[in-house]
Homo-oligomer: A and B are copies of this chain.
Amino acid sequence: MKNKAPRKKRAAVPAEAVAGAEQSAPDLGAEAHRFSQTRSARSAEILEDYTELIADLMEEHGEARITDIARCLGVTHPTAAKAVARLKREGLVTSRPYRGVFLTEAGAAMAERVRVRHRIVIEFLKAIGVPAEIAAVDAEGIEHYVSDATLAAFSDFVRSAPEV
């Protein structure tokens, strides 16, 4: 006796229902497309946090050291070092052995974009009544998943509702 469970007809989800199937291309369905977008945002998340943090450290202390980066992020130094190696490979930072980490133009540009986003998200959360400490935590995650349209909506809201 094995596998006696009743089995409905196959193709419970007709391919066409889920696949937008409008034209050519790999054409994932709308559903799948949504998740794909989120996945790619997720893979950029760490790069964004690092560039932002490096910019902050440079501004505050004139340099960004692996140890400081690691401490700020709450990870061990080898983890930070490995991430920096990836940033380097992707052309976002430069570094030489035993010296600090420096943003390239591309890295600085990313940092600036991320900082703006971060600020807007935090201000927005506070504006709708989220306590500052909680807003700080939530913004750290949310910031990587807001599209330009959503960011604009956030920013408009903050401007139009100065006080509560």
Contacts and interface: CB of A to CB of B under 8 A. Distances in A.
A142 interface: yes
Say whether chain A's binding surface is mostly helix, strand, loop, or mixed.
helix
Given A74-B35, A98-B3, A145 B153 contact: no
A37 interface: yes
A150 B134 contact: yes
Contact of A12 (B29, B41, B65, B136): B65
Each complex incorporates copies of this chain amounting to 2
B145 A99 contact: no
A155 B70 CA distance: 36
Contact of A32 (B74, B125, B142, B145): B74
Given A145-B145, A149-B131, A34 B140 contact: yes
B62 A8 contact: yes
A112 interface: no
8 contacts: A12-B61, A31-B72, A34-B140, A38-B141, A125-B150, A128-B154, A130-B149, A134-B149
Given A3-B96, A35-B49, 16 more contacts: A3-B98, A3-B99, A13-B60, A19-B71, A29-B74, A31-B73, A33-B137, A35-B72, A35-B73, A35-B74, A38-B140, A42-B42, A128-B153, A131-B149, A141-B144, A142-B145
